[in-house]
A and B are shown apart, each in its own frame.
Chain A
Amino acid sequence: MKKLILIGARGYGRVIYNLAISCKGYNTEYTIKGFLDDKRDALDEFDGYPPVIASVEDYQVQQDDVFVCALGDVSEKKNYSEMILNKGGEFISLLHPTANVSTNSVYGKGCLVCFNAFISADATIGDFVTVQPFSMVGHNAVVGNWCHLDTHMFLGGYVRLEDEVTIHTGAIVHPYKKVGRGATVGAGAVVLRNVKEQTTVFGNPAMRLKTE
């Protein structure tokens, strides 16, 4: 039996703990060993969770360990996951039993697919992608590594997200549109045009937020 360790014991860590104990692999493929977080008292106010074992920086990977990263921010998720990868740690994906993954759709390692998420036909999702509750990925969509797809967001058919894209709560990306690497789509935005890399768009129709 593998021992699952969650990276991050803050609010999102507690959410993903609940995902982990809801998945069919719990107590059949893995038990839960605890959390890694440099805030060792992160769970002191909360009952019913396994312990914070160590910081990610200090933790020595053990033979039966497997990991998921429970951090909502894309750059933090990448940073801390790579720390564990560099120590030889192995990541698994968690798929909630109510999530629907359609014919020919695939997702990579380290993904979190939450309650009632829907991944339509022939979609390709990379590694370390978070698909939050009730979010929908359209048919033939391609989602790059490290992306964060927040609750109730929608990607139309044939949408392409490059790596490290964040789609915030309730946003809509129109079919066939492309969102460039590291871009952010704000909550409730309606993306009708391609989004350039490393930019933030917001509103309906989604417009680039100027930095100056």
Chain B
Amino acid sequence: MELNDFVKNFAEQFDDTDMSEFSAGTAFRTIGEWSSLIALNIIAMVDDEYGVQIKADDIRGSVTIEDLYNIVKIKMQQ
């Protein structure tokens, strides 16, 4: 799993926010378009692309996209 791919997959769950606004250090909850529906889509994307299940608490406990990437990475190793 590459961090850059994860950021891209994360960004693809947004409809209106430009790709250029996303980087590993982006505090995703500050993005205007962020919503509970996008949070659900992130959970579904992680399941689809990486085969692991994350919970709402994992998203709640993450500030940046890289924080969530690290949680997914650990779960993939378990």
Contacts and interface: CB of A to CB of B under 8 A. Distances in A.
A205 B15 contact: no
A176 interface: yes
B19 interface: no
A193 B15 contact: no
Nearest to A203: B44
A43 interface: no
B12 A205 contact: no
Contacts of A193: 12-13, 41, 44-45
A192 B37 contact: yes
A208 interface: yes
A176 B37 CA distance: 14
Nearest to A194: B12
Interface string B24-66: 0000000000000100110011011000000000000000000
Nearest to A206: B44
A208 B40 CA distance: 15
A194 B45 CA distance: 10
A207 B12 contact: no
A192 B13 CA distance: 9
A208 B47 CA distance: 10
Contacts of B40: 192, 205
Nearest to A205: B44
Chain A CB within 10 Å, residue with most, of B13, B37, B44, B45: B44
A177 B48 CA distance: 17
Contacts of B48: 207-208
Nearest to B44: A205
A193 B44 CA distance: 9
Interface string A132-169: 00000000000000000000000000000000000000
B15 A207 contact: no
B41 A192 contact: yes
Contact of A192 (B12, B44, B47): B44
A155 B12 CA distance: 20
Contacts of B13: 193
A195 to B, nearest CB: 10
Nearest to A175: B15
A176 B40 CA distance: 17
A6 B50 CA distance: 46
A207 B37 contact: no
18 contacts: A176-B15, A192-B37, A192-B40, A192-B41, A192-B44, A193-B12, A193-B13, A193-B41, A193-B44, A193-B45, A194-B12, A205-B40, A205-B41, A205-B44, A207-B44, A207-B47, A207-B48, A208-B48
> Closest 6 A-B residue pairs measured CB to CB?
A176-B15, A205-B44, A193-B41, A208-B48, A192-B41, A207-B48
